[in-house]
Structure 1
Amino acid sequence: MSLRADLRVLWRSPGFRRLTWTRLLSQGGDGMFQVGIATAFFFDPTTATSPEQIAVGFAVLLAPFTLVGPFVGPLIDRWQRQRILLVGNLVRLVLAAGIITLVLADAPVWSLYATALLTLSVNRFLLAAMTAGLPQVVPAHQLLAANAVLPTLGTIAASVGGAIGGIATFVVPSVSDNSLAVTALICAGLAFGASSIAATRISRKELGPTHPLEKLDVGAQLRALTAELLEGERYLRARRTPWHALGVMSAQRLLYGLVFVASILASRSILADPDDAEAALGAFSIVLGFAAVGFGLAAVITPMLGDRVSRERWILICLGIGAVGQIVLATAPTAWALLTAAIIVSFAVQGGKIAVDTIVQRDTEDHVRGRAFTLYDMAYNVAFMSSAVVGGLILPDSGWSRPIMLGIAVVYVLVAIVFARTPHEVRPVPPRPVAN
C-alpha cells in the first residue's frame, strides 16, 4: 500500500486520529523550542569550533535523556499513558514559561541550561509513552504502516514547528537582545498547551497499560524501578527478536550519528565560511532538508513492501543501502556527494527504524512494552552520544575523511552479516513476578 492509502486506512481509527493530533502538536512545539539550541551549540564560531566541542554539546543534550529514562520510563507500564501525555505537556508549558522568565531576568546561564535540559528530557518520556500506546489504537496488522506514518508526520511537524519559530522571530519586532529567544519559547509553550488539550480527547484508558497501578506509592515505586528495568532487559534478551532489533538499531544509530557530526562540521567548513554562523546554519538546514527527503521516502516505500518483505530482511536491505550511501559520501568532499548521501543514509536509517519499532511492538507483551521502549530510548541516546564522542576523536575539523567514510560503510556490512546470523523467531518467556 502507498503512504496515502495507509494514512487513509489508519485515519478511520478515532484513537489513531487523536494520538496523531497530540503528537503533531507536541513535536511541533519541540521544533520551536529547539530553534535556538542548534545555533548556540553547534554553529556559534566562539563555542563550537572543533569535533571535540561539538561532542561536548551532544553529551550535554543527550546525557540527561539517558539518565532520566531508566527512572521514569517504567512508569509507562504503571501509569495511564493518556495522563502522561496530558500532564507531561503541561509540565513543558510551565518549564517554557519558566525559561522565558529566566531569560527576561538575565538569570545565570546554568539555570537556563538546566531548565532547557529538563524540558528536553520530558520530551523523550512523552515520545516513549506515545510509541508504547500505539498498539492499543492500531490493529497488529497495521503496526508497520502506523510506525511509518506517525513518526514521519512527527518529524515533519517538528520541522514545520522549527520553521514557524524561526519565521516568528523575524516577524515579531525586536525590542531587546532576548526578543528572538522569548518569541520562539512563547510559540513552543502555545504548542505544548495545545497538545495537552488534544490529549484530553483521548480516553483515560485508551492507550493502556492494560493493568495500570491505581494507587501511587512514590517511595515503593522508586525502589522497584531498577529491578523492573533489569527484568525488562532479561525479558527482551530471552524473547530474542526485540533484543536483536535493539542491537541493530543501536549500531545503525551510532553510524548515523558519526555522519551527523560530520555533516555539521562539513556544513561549517565545506559548504560555508566557518566564521559565518548564519551561513553555516543555512547550509546545515539544506542538508537536513535532503535528509528529510530520505526519511519521507522510507515512510512511503517501507509499508509498500510490508506484505512482500519481512521486517528482518528489510533491515538487512537498509543496512546495505546505508553502506552505499557511505560510499557515495567517500567519493569527494563536495556538496553533491554530501546531499546525495544525506538522502540515501537517512532512507536507510528510517527504513530500518520502522522495522525495528514494529518488531519491538509486535514481539513484546503489553505489560513489558513501556520498559522495552525505555531501554530503546536508552540505547538510542547512548549510541548517538557515543557517536559524538567517537566523532570527536577520529573526525578532522572539516568533517570529511575518505578512509573514515569507507570504514563506516564496512561496518554497515559487518552489522548486516551479524544480524543475518541471529535467530529471527520469537521465543516464549515464562512470566516471573517482580516485587512491588
Structure 2
Amino acid sequence: MSRLLELHAFNTAGDAAVAVALAGTLFFQVPDGEARGQVALFLGLTMLPFAIVAPLIGPFLDRFRRGRRWAIGSTMAIRAFCCWALAGAVATDSVWLFPAALGVLVSSKAYGVTRASAVPRVLPENFTLVKANSRISLTGTAGAAISAPLALGFAQFGGQWALRYAFALFVVATILAVLLPARVDSSEGEEQVALSQLGTGSRRGIPTSVVAALRCNAGLRFLSGFLTLFMAFLLRQYPFPGWEDRYTLLLAMVVGAAGLGNTLGMLLASVLKVVRPQVVVMLVLGIDVAVLVLTAVLYSLPMAVAFGLTVGICQSLGKLSLDALIQGDVPESVRTSAFARSETLLQLSWVVGGFLGILVPLQPPRLGLGVAAALLVAWLIWVLRFAATAPRLRPTARPAAATPPVPHGQTDDDTAEQPYDDVDVTRRLPTDPSYRRPGP
C-alpha cells in the first residue's frame, strides 16, 4: 500500500505541474480576447477525442489485468514522453502542442482506471477499499500542494521548464509502478461489468443504491468541470469591482476554495459516519444544486467563494459515499471492474461540464449560472425519481458461501427476519474505524 501511495503522490505532483504549465501558456500569457478561443480550441482538440476514447480505456485495460503494474507504468511513461514533447512544442509554438496534450490527458485518465483496479489487491489486513481510497486522495492532495509551488517557480523561466519538471516526476512514477507488489497483477475471481450495466443495475446484481449514487456523482462532477472553466473565464474578463488588477488572486480564491472543500469533505466524512451513504449522495447533490441556484440569483464574491467551497465538499463526500456503496453492495467478483467503469463515467461527466463552461455566455453571469442550475435541477429530479421508482435489487456483496448454518431449533424463516441492511458496518463512510470488508 505504501508503494501505491508514493506512486500516487508523484502522479498528482506531475499533473499539478502540467496544469500550471498549460494554464500559463493557454490562459494567463495571452490577451483577454484570445484566452477563451485558445482554451476552447485546446478543449476541442483534446477533450473531444478523449470523450470518444475514454469509454474504450476500461475495456482495453481489462485485457492487461494480469499485467497491471506494466499497464500503470505505461501510463506514466507515456505521460513522461508527452511532457517532454509538450515542452518543446510550448517553446517553439509547434502544432504538436495539442496532440501531446491529448496524450497526457488520455494517459492520465487511463492511470485513474488502472489504479482503481489495483487498489483492492494491495489492501493491508483489516483495511477497507474505501478507507484506502480516502488515504490515497489525501496523499494526492498533499503531493499536488507541494508540487504546484515548485512548478510555479520553474514556470518563471518558461512553461517548458515546468513541463520538464513534470517529465522527471513521471519518470520516477514509472519506476515506482514497476516496483509495485506482484499481487497487483492478480485477477483471480474477477469478472467484467460494462458501463451499461452500471447505468441500469439490471444485471450482475448491481443494486439500485449504487446506480443512484453513480448518477448523483455524475452531477457533482459535471458541476465541478463547469465551475473550473466558467469561473476562470468569467473572473478574468469580468472581475468583481475593485479586483480588476488582481484577477489571478480572485480566481485562486474561488477555485482554491473548491480544493479546500475537497479536503474538508474527507474530514467531514467522519462526522457523517452514522448517515447511510445512499442518503449522503442525495443530500450533497441537493446542497450543490441549492447553492448553485443561490449563486445565480445573488451573484457576488462571497457567494462565488461559497459556491467553490460547497462544490469541493460535496464532490468529496459524494465520491466517498459512492466508494462505500460499491464496497458494500456490489458483488466482489465484479467490484473491481465496476469501480474502474465508474471512474471513466465520472471523468466524462467533468468533460461535459467543462464544455458547458466554455460555451455559455459570460455576461450576464447569472445567465450562465442559471443554465447550469436548470440542468442540474432537472438531473436531481430525474435521479430522485429513479431512486423512488426503480426496482430494488438486494445487495449481493456478501458471498453466498458466507451464509451461516441455521442453528438447531431455528427455522429458515427465523433467519430470514434478519435483513441485510442491519449489517451497518458495510455501509459506513471510510473514516469509521469499525468499517470492515463484508465477508465471513
Name the TM-score, length of structure 1 as normaliser: 0.76
Shift of 1:131: 1.6
Letter in 2 for 1:335: L
- The farther-off stretch of 361-370 and 308-317 is 361-370
- The farther-off stretch of 117-126 and 260-269 is 260-269
Deviations 1:207-226 (A, max 9, x none): 6433699xxxxxxxxxxxxx
Query: What CA distance in whole angstroms lies between the structure 2 residues aligned with 1:414 and 1:235?
Result: 17
Structure 2 vs 1, CA of residues 140 and 319 (structure 1 numbering), >3 Å: closer, same or farther? farther
Question: Where does residue 262 of structure 1 map in the other structure?
Answer: 230
Query: What CA distance in whole angstroms lies between the structure 2 residues aligned with 1:69 and 1:137?
Result: 25
Letter in 2 for 1:383: S
Query: What CA distance in whole angstroms lies between the structure 2 residues aligned with 1:413 and 1:230?
Result: 20
1:240 pairs with 2:207: yes
Shift of 1:33: 1.4
Shift of 1:34: 1.8
Structure 2 vs 1, CA of residues 252 and 234 (structure 1 numbering), >3 Å: closer, same or farther? closer
Shift of 1:310: 1.5
Question: Where does residue 271 of structure 1 map in the other structure?
Answer: 239
Query: What CA distance in whole angstroms lies between the structure 1 residues aligned with 2:265 and 2:341?
Result: 24
Question: Where does residue 88 of structure 1 map in the other structure?
Answer: 75
Structure 2 vs 1, CA of residues 294 and 126 (structure 1 numbering), >3 Å: closer, same or farther? same
Question: Where does residue 295 of structure 1 map in the other structure?
Answer: 262
**Corresponding residue pairs, total:** 388
Letter in 2 for 1:261: L
Query: What CA distance in whole angstroms lies between the structure 1 residues aligned with 2:54 and 2:15?
Result: 18
Question: Where does residue 435 of structure 2 map in the other structure?
Answer: none
Question: Where does residue 272 of structure 2 map in the other structure?
Answer: 305
Query: What CA distance in whole angstroms lies between the structure 2 residues aligned with 1:383 and 1:69?
Result: 11
SS of equivalent residue, structure 1 residue 382: helix
Structure 2 vs 1, CA of residues 245 and 228 (structure 1 numbering), >3 Å: closer, same or farther? closer
- The farther-off stretch of 400-409 and 147-156 is 400-409
Shift of 1:233: 5.4
1:343 pairs with 2:309: yes
Counting only pairs closer than 5 Å after superposition, residues 207-222 of structure 1 correspond to structure 2 as 208-210=186-188
Is the CA contact 2:235–2:251 (under 8 Å) kept in the aligned structure 1?
yes
Is the CA contact 2:25–2:159 (under 8 Å) kept in the aligned structure 1?
no
Is the CA contact 1:28–1:162 (under 8 Å) kept in the aligned structure 2?
yes
Question: Where does residue 98 of structure 1 map in the other structure?
Answer: 85
Query: What CA distance in whole angstroms lies between the structure 2 residues aligned with 1:294 and 1:141?
Result: 25
SS of equivalent residue, structure 2 residue 116: helix
Shift of 1:114: 0.1
Letter in 1 for 2:62: D
Question: Where does residue 410 of structure 2 map in the other structure?
Answer: none
Query: What CA distance in whole angstroms lies between the structure 2 residues aligned with 1:398 and 1:162?
Result: 33
- The farther-off stretch of 150-159 and 233-242 is 233-242
Q: Percent identity among equivalent residues?
A: 19
Counting only pairs closer than 5 Å after superposition, residues 133-172 of structure 1 correspond to structure 2 as 133-138=118-123, 142-170=128-156
Letter in 1 for 2:363: D
Is the CA contact 1:320–1:412 (under 8 Å) kept in the aligned structure 2?
no
Query: What CA distance in whole angstroms lies between the structure 2 residues aligned with 1:74 and 1:406?
Result: 34
Return 5+ residue gaps in structure 1 as ranges. 1-14, 175-179, 214-226, 429-436
SS of equivalent residue, structure 1 residue 400: helix
384, 391, 397: which one aligns with 2:350: 384
SS of equivalent residue, structure 2 residue 162: helix
Query: What CA distance in whole angstroms lies between the structure 1 residues aligned with 2:373 and 2:200?
Result: 37
Query: What CA distance in whole angstroms lies between the structure 2 residues aligned with 1:334 and 1:94?
Result: 43
Shift of 1:204: 2.2
Letter in 1 for 2:74: V
Shift of 1:191: 0.8
Shift of 1:196: 2.0
SS of equivalent residue, structure 2 residue 180: coil
Shift of 1:129: 1.2
Query: What CA distance in whole angstroms lies between the structure 2 residues aligned with 1:417 and 1:211?
Result: 34
Question: Where does residue 220 of structure 1 map in the other structure?
Answer: none
Is the CA contact 1:311–1:355 (under 8 Å) kept in the aligned structure 2?
yes
Query: What CA distance in whole angstroms lies between the structure 1 residues aligned with 2:355 and 2:73?
Result: 35
Question: Where does residue 433 of structure 1 map in the other structure?
Answer: none
Is the CA contact 1:33–1:185 (under 8 Å) kept in the aligned structure 2?
yes
Deviations 1:268-305 (A, max 9, x none): 134369x98x9444422222211112111111111443
Letter in 2 for 1:94: F
Deviations 1:35-63 (A, max 9, x none): 1223444454243347xx75554443423
Is the CA contact 2:46–2:101 (under 8 Å) kept in the aligned structure 1?
no
62, 73, 76: which one aligns with 2:58: 73
323, 331, 349: which one aligns with 2:289: 323
Query: What CA distance in whole angstroms lies between the structure 2 residues aligned with 1:66 and 1:368?
Result: 24
Query: What CA distance in whole angstroms lies between the structure 1 residues aligned with 2:69 and 2:298?
Result: 49
Is the CA contact 1:320–1:413 (under 8 Å) kept in the aligned structure 2?
yes
Shift of 1:400: 3.4
Return 5+ residue gaps in structure 2 as ranges. 398-440
169, 174, 183: which one aligns with 2:161: 183
Is the CA contact 1:318–1:348 (under 8 Å) kept in the aligned structure 2?
yes
Deviations 1:116-150 (A, max 9, x none): 21122101111111122222223686333333332
Letter in 1 for 2:211: W
CA-atom RMSD in angstroms: 3.6
Query: What CA distance in whole angstroms lies between the structure 2 residues aligned with 1:151 and 1:95?
Result: 25
377, 382, 397: which one aligns with 2:363: 397
Is the CA contact 1:33–1:184 (under 8 Å) kept in the aligned structure 2?
yes
1:118 pairs with 2:103: yes
Question: Where does residue 196 of structure 1 map in the other structure?
Answer: 174
SS of equivalent residue, structure 2 residue 269: helix
1:414 pairs with 2:381: yes
Q: Tell which has more relative contact order, 1 or 2 (C-alpha 8 A, sep 6+).
A: 1
Question: Where does residue 438 of structure 2 map in the other structure?
Answer: none
Question: Where does residue 283 of structure 1 map in the other structure?
Answer: 250
SS of equivalent residue, structure 2 residue 105: helix
Structure 2 vs 1, CA of residues 368 and 325 (structure 1 numbering), >3 Å: closer, same or farther? same
Letter in 2 for 1:87: S
Query: What CA distance in whole angstroms lies between the structure 2 residues aligned with 1:413 and 1:205?
Result: 41
Shift of 1:369: 4.7
- The farther-off stretch of 344-353 and 194-203 is 194-203
